[in-house]
Structure 1
Amino acid sequence: MYVIPLEEILAELRRLNANRVLIQSPEGLRREAEELASFLEDRGLEVTLYGEVNYGACDPADLEAKRLGCDALIHLGHSYMTLHLEVPTIFVPAFSRVDVIPSLKKNLEEIRKLGKKIALVTTAQHIHKLEDAKNFLETNGFEVVIGRGDSRVSWPGQVLGCNFSSARVKAEGILFIGSGYFHPLGVALATKKPTLAVNPHTGDAIWMAKEAERIIRRRWAQIAKAIDAKSFGVIVSTKKGQLRLAEAKRTLELLREHGKKARLIAMDHISYPQVEGFPFDAYVVVACPRVPIDDYENWGKPVLTPREVELLLGLTDEYKFDEILGAERREDEPLGIAVHGVGK
């Protein structure tokens, strides 16, 4: 289902003089991880599979690779992200083999409802098909815009679960190509523009407006539950790509300035059972935005994002989706993977 450039990975490992390798993968790429391990072991390398859950390029297992005595880390399924890494790391996006054009043909009339000028976005798995999609749509009368995004993303048109900067362009509506709901939902929440998600695997097309409204209502309910909270645990992630210490301290000070007791909590894997013993009335997660939005039902107390704290304190009245943003790109700045990457 996914393209794993075996020979290219091997060549990069040879260049790095790496003999002991740790392979990290999300749950959906476990089979490909084992196939890659077998390929590398047949060529004389010592390979270990990393079994912990992976949340994205923001969560590389480079420190674990170093502890295990590995010379390099192979990070499957996600694109390169600028991070300080303990060992050389090869990011392998794992491009999907599926053709995106049939699903676009099937949903052409639905796509027209977005307007004539549309923005086109996708995830790393389909990024290599974005130009094909653009050409197809343009031959069918659309004006297609593909945004560059900021320094946190590797390619124009790419969106992450925590970053939708490439979708912030001048367009009437946004077309997302890919599976799952969180990415297009994040696009809709972040841009407040009509967003249609087309799944190239199933051919389904889903509008995000109702889902976005439903999520926002749920988030306002969490804010309402936290109205009477007198103490807050402000959780900052120790994951390299999610570490937002300055934002956590800013949130901490905002709460204290408004008469709330607030304490900083540092965590790696963030879940309610791990903080249940603390005596706080509510929590603020200053890490991946998916934690409070996806997992709120598993929290026994209100859980907010930094943007929602501003609403709680009356500092704003406009709901904004929490994102982890990078620096703005210069017009002359090269795009794509510069180092520690294959499958550009």
Structure 2
Amino acid sequence: MHEIHAREVLKELRLIGAGRVLIQSPEGLRREAEALGGFLEENGIEVMLHGEVNYGACDPADREAKSLGCDALIHLGHSYMKLHLEVPTIFVPAFAEVEVVPALEKNLEEIKKLGKRIALVTTAQHIHQLEKARVFLENNGFEVLIGRGDSRVSWPGQVLGCNFSSARVGGEGVLFIGAGYFHPLGVAIATKKPTLAVNPYSGDATWMKGEAERLIRKRWAQIAKAMDAESFGVVTSTKKGQLRLSEARRIVRLLREHGKRAELLVMNHISYPALEGFSFDAYVVVACPRVPIDDYENWRKPVLTPREAEILLGLREDYEFDEILGVERTEDEPLGVALHGYRNSL
């Protein structure tokens, strides 16, 4: 279950003067979206529920909200991301109702293997308990480092699937709190430090070294498959938080400079079946880094990230995870935004 602060959302909508709203949610929060919609309708606001798949804060449905005549978009389940949006948007994180300290206590001996000075990171679902985790760890003799991160993340210590800037804060190792492998894998590859993932739901702890090595071997295999490719489709997304047009143009230029045929392709939802009609030998996805990594088995042709394309062309040697970075925060910049919602006004 996830904690949604419906009354705070209603308060923000009344500040905007919104009478009609679109609620966008990831698949795992459909029930919460329904409940929030019911609460808002009881309070006199017309609600529409967005039924498309949502990939994160980088994928807001503001265009759809505007075309439907909505006064605001409620983006459920993800933290604020600074984007130019077409309607006022309230980002409403969904905080997991699970305590993290018991899992840390259970795995304390494993955590000690990271060293005394450790970086602590998590996802938006558990960010509200990061302070509890820090206090527990410090009471057990650790020096805990929580990075500020860059402008793409909302809170200190938060990592995204495309941004691990808050993990680059020093220390002997990195402790990740959360479920799933993709975030801690990215942390391990980005920081090149021992990384331990503690799952607060199961109580399990997993070292990422072996997982990272397996992933990197698979990615080198994709690079090897693309070695003989003479033509490349360089794909970027029109999703507002994934549109990396200048980076895509840079990759097209590099490929052409190395004697390859390269064309820029633009689409919203990137999937191989939609590209079957093209004749390219391989693809470079310059959008969400998860597309070529999570979905590569569904691509009949090799699919690379921008950094992997640079390896292919002999421009870099070491494997690095593709990230979408923001600008570095200044020392006097606020470290985060409101925990229970954030209104992005036009």
TM superposition score category, shorter chain reference: over 0.9
**Equivalent residue, structure 2, for 1:187:** 187
Residue 9 of structure 2 is matched in structure 1 by 9
2:277 alignment counterpart: 277
Contact 1:177 1:200 (8 Å CA) reproduced: yes
Counterpart in the other structure of 1:58: 58
Give CA deviations for 1:172-229 in whole Å, capped at 9, x if unaligned. 0000001111111110111111111101111111111111000000000000000000
The answer to whether 1:36 aligns with 2:17 is no
Matched letter for residue 276 of structure 1: E
Tell me if structure 1 keeps the 8 A contact 2:149–2:166: yes
Runs (4 or more) in structure 1 with deviation over 3 Å come to 338-343
Query: Matches of residues 15-164 of structure 1 in structure 2 within 5 Å?
Result: 15-164=15-164
Q: Percent identity?
A: 77
Which residue number in structure 1 is paired with residue 251 of structure 2? 251
Report the 3-state secondary structure (helix = DSSP H, G, I; strand = E; otherwise coil) of the residue aligned with 1:98.
coil
In structure 1, distance between residues paired with 2:340 and 2:16 = 10
Distance 1:132 1:339 in 2: 15
TM-score normalised to structure 2 length:
0.98
* Superposition deviation, residue 340 in structure 1: 11
Q: 1:28 to 1:340 in 2, by over 3 A?
A: closer
Separation (CA, whole Å) in 2 of partners of 1:263 and 1:40: 46
Code of the residue aligned with 2:136 in structure 1: it is F
- Alignment-derived partner of residue 172 in structure 1: 172
Count of aligned pairs: 343
Q: 1-side partners of 2:183 and 2:339: how far apart?
A: 26
Q: Is the 8 A contact 1:89 1:341 kept in 2?
A: no
CA apart distance, 1:339: 12
Partner of 1:239: 239
TM-score scaled by length of structure 1:
0.98
Q: Quote how far apart the aligned CAs of 1:4 are.
A: 0.5
Q: Which residue of 2 aligns with 1:213?
A: 213
Residue 227 of structure 1 corresponds to 227
Distance of 1:208 and 1:30 partners within structure 2: 31
1:233-254 residue CA offsets vs partner (Å, 9 max, x unmatched): 0001111000100100000000
Does structure 1 conserve the Cα–Cα contact (< 8 Å) formed by 2:162 and 2:324? yes
- Structure 2 vs 1, CA of residues 327 and 338 (structure 1 numbering), >3 Å: closer, same or farther? farther
Instruction: Output the CA distance in 2 between the equivalents of 1:154 and 1:162.
Output: 14
Could you tell me whether the CA contact under 8 Å between 1:90 and 1:340 is conserved in 2? no
Q: 1:156 is aligned with what amino acid?
A: P
Distance in 1 (alpha carbons) for counterparts of 2:339 and 2:321: 31
Question: How far has the Cα of 1:50 moved from its partner?
Answer: 0.3
Does the CA contact (< 8 Å) of 1:8 and 1:342 recur in 2? no
Distance in 2 separating the partners of 1:337 and 1:6:
18
Of 257-266 and 91-100, more deviation after overlay is shown by 91-100
Aligned amino acid, residue 173 of structure 2:
G
The amino acid of 1:214's aligned partner reads: R
Within the alignment, does 1:323 sit opposite 2:296 as a pair?
no
Unaligned runs of 5+ in 1: none
Matched residues in 2 for 1:56 and 1:246: separation? 22
5+ residue gaps, structure 2: none
SS of the equivalent of 1:301 reads coil
Partners of 1:34 and 1:218 in 2: CA distance: 40
